[in-house]
A = this chain, B = another copy of it.
Amino acid sequence: MVRRAASEGEDRRPTTIRDVAAHAGVSVATVSRILSGTYPSAPATRSKVMRAVRELDYVANANARNLAGASSRSVAIIVNSVVSPHYAHVAQGVQTQAALEGKLCIVGTTGGDPERELATVQLMRQEHAECVILVGNVVADDAYRERMGDYARALALAGSRLVLCGRPALGPDVPALVVEYDNTGGAYAITSHLLSAGHRRILFLGRRAGHTTPDSRIAGYRNALADHRVPHDPGLELDGTMERGEGYRMIRQRLEAGPPDFTAVFAVNDQIAAGARQALREQGLRVPDDISMVGFDDLPPAADIDLTTVHVPHEELGRTAVRMALERGRDKTGQAEHVMLGTHIIVRDSVRPLRPTPQP
């Protein structure tokens, strides 16, 4: 970047393509064609123009470009919160892939409020983003389905597309793309891991009926119990949200009501596990010596507390969302509209085999 000479009066206007054309002694169309590169041009002209661009430190006005051309070179991501590791990692993937494709990334947060979600989608629609990626856990009721249908149709009409990321698919008539990951499979695998270690009474932390993410994780938990012929005790499923403090609260309340009637804990995510672990410790119970514990997500808190957990490919989720949306933009023929990414266990040091009988 070269400091631009503050010559020719106190001109406060930024440099336009016209200035570049004048400086190079050609027409604006020539400059435009040379800059977009999609046109044969004499090397001499080309270098003249490029020199003018450099000397004037010219950058094109994206607004004008988007207005005249078709595509807007931007992808939008809408999350509950940027600081939640889950969303942050997906956002990182989106941002990475967007940068790779030369697009920029606009983000909006909703705090989980459908009203703000709507407002944000409208904002992205105004901005003519090439795609709008909605990520995360949600209650999948009829209102939700209708809302998403509306978004999808409105965006499709504007040449954009809706991508649902880690959310359940909608009907086949709705023009939305879906990228999911295998919650139920991961939960099944890690529950089996606990069962194989001999645990039979496994506390599930973070049930929340109607919310898609906890719902599909608890489904895996139940399936595993059933397949291992372990009786299912609904009293072992504790309700709560997905924030750290809730994990603390749930364990705290459970232990205040009486001594532990479980040997292992399956936390709906790593943050819950971290909170639960703290509550256990405060009651003199150590993980994994006294209680085994597993989580879900494989995000920062997990490594810090040596937690065995399920790895979720968060960044890949974000990258795939962008890739799918842009591919479909390029070439409309029969691409996947629905992708399911796999999950797998990460073993650390938070599970101990259960001795079948008390020590002699």
Enumerate chain A interface residues (CB-CB to B < 8 A): 1-4, 12, 14, 57, 59-67, 72, 74, 81-83, 85, 88-89, 91-92, 95-96, 99, 104-109, 116, 118, 122-128, 150-151, 153-154, 157-159, 244, 274, 278, 300-301, 303-306
Contacts and interface: CB of A to CB of B under 8 A. Distances in A.
B274 A304 contact: yes
A106 B104 contact: yes
| Identical copies of this chain, number | 2
Contact of A60 (B59, B67, B126, B305): B126
A1 B81 CA distance: 24
Nearest to A106: B106
Contacts of A278: 304, 306
B72 A63 contact: yes
A269 B89 CA distance: 21
B83 A85 contact: yes
B104 A127 contact: yes
B118 A61 contact: no
Contacts of A81: 92
Contacts of A157: 4, 12, 14
B61 A128 contact: yes
Contact of A109 (B85, B96, B106): B96
A95 B82 CA distance: 9
Given A3-B150, A83-B92, 11 more contacts: A1-B118, A4-B157, A59-B126, A67-B67, A74-B106, A83-B85, A104-B123, A104-B127, A105-B108, A301-B301, A304-B304
